[in-house]
Amino acid sequence: MRAATVPKRVNSLVDRLRKPVNFGAYHKGAAMAGLSHRQTEILNLARASGRVLVEDLARRFEVSAQTIRKDLNDLCEQRALTRIHGGAMIASGVENLAYEARRFVAAEEKKAIGAAAAALIPNGCSLFINIGTTTEEVASALTGHEDLLVITNNLNVAMLLYRYPRIEVVVAGGAVRRADGAVVGSTATQLIGQFKVDYAIIGVSAIDEEGALLDFDYREVQVAQAIIANARSVMLVADSTKFTRSAPVRIAHVSQINTFVTDSALPAGLANICHSRGIEVIEALPKAPGETEEAEPLEPANDPIPIRRG
């Protein structure tokens, strides 16, 4: 009997499958195909700090701002970065940025939001504060308050506030997420359900154009949902970079909050939702008249909405 002839293309496929796989090429830190050395360095800097700024990069690499903008546009086209005012940040997906990187993203804006939010909290009240670098800025700005009861699932918030004698701190129990000191899971959710507080201060990882408040960890989301359900007034604190990000898990809808503290004008669609639902919007760092965004500006709403500017 004549042996069957194996087609050449099958032999070629078998030969390729026998070659060892270079797993290093799939590592997060590996260079993406088609990037220049400078673009690879820019991407690594963005991964380390969360975002990069045009002026800083131009000085670092001794090139023009126009050259850096072109590099950032190329990286955005490959969906490695997302443009923000004055630079770019790591594009989001199904995994959040590292905690230390998140602390650097929009740091000035978060501090201003924290101060504006804390100014709305009276002495002698109870409040929830959930996970996030922006909610931590609110906690930092609350240290001058008196007679507060703060329930939190954020160990960083607890460490900021516990030493102040006029602020009582209750920490939710449960598993601690090593990455950022978050307490998540059913035990934390159950403790939250034992309280009914005056205010809830919540942060999110992303807000979409339809008003969905989004995050990455479903266990964290369960705690956030319990916080919203057990507060008389809910305050969302989120900087404008959250308008260009995405995350896979839905916390709630913006219509479930009472006050939204952000740094600048909302995108038109989100502004219209807030206006129609009677949500108070506070801009902690309103832009001066005539100031424009460098790339992909977010248009403000045409209709008037209840806005207070810090």
pTM (predicted TM-score): 0.70
Question: What integer pLDDT is reported at residue 172 of this predicted model?
Answer: 94
Question: What integer pLDDT is reported at residue 306 of this predicted model?
Answer: 54
Boundary of a domain, candidates 91, 113, 146: 91
Same domain, 193 and 126: yes
3-state SS of the chain?
CCCCCCCHHHHHHHHHHHCCCCHHHHCCCCCCCCCCHHHHHHHHHHHHHCEEEHHHHHHHHCCCHHHHHHHHHHHHHCCCEEEECCEEEECCCCCCCCHHHHHHCCHHHHHHHHHHHHCCCCCCCEEEECCCHHHHHHHHHCCCCCCEEEEECEHHHHHHHCCCCCEEEEECCCEEECCCCEEECHHHHHHHCCCCEEEEEECCCEECCCCEEEECCHHHHHHHHHHHHCEEEEEEECCHHHHHCCCCEEEEEHHHCCEEEECCCCCHHHHHHHHHCCCEEEECCCCCCCCCCCCCCCCCCCCCCCEEEC
Number of domains in the chain: 2
Which domain CATH number covers 152?
A: 3.40.50.1360
Tokens of 192: 């939250």
Boundary of a domain, candidates 91, 116, 145: 91
Give domain status of residue 142, yes or no. Answer: yes
Question: What integer pLDDT is reported at residue 295 of this predicted model?
Answer: 44
Same domain, 251 and 144: yes
Give domain status of residue 13, yes or no. Answer: no
Give domain status of residue 2, yes or no. Answer: no
Give domain status of residue 167, yes or no. Answer: yes
Same domain, 38 and 170: no
Same domain, 135 and 44: no
Give the tens place of pLDDT for each residue, 6-63.
455 445 444 443 444 333 333 344 445 678 999 999 988 887 767 789 999 999 999 9
Question: What integer pLDDT is reported at residue 201 of this predicted model?
Answer: 98
Question: What integer pLDDT is reported at residue 302 of this predicted model?
Answer: 43
Same domain, 209 and 263: yes
Same domain, 115 and 192: yes
What residues in the chain have per-residue pLDDT under 70?
Answer: 1-33, 49, 91-104, 288-310
Same domain, 110 and 75: no
Same domain, 202 and 72: no
Residue range(s) defining the domain that contains residue 232 = 102-309
Give domain status of residue 7, yes or no. Answer: no
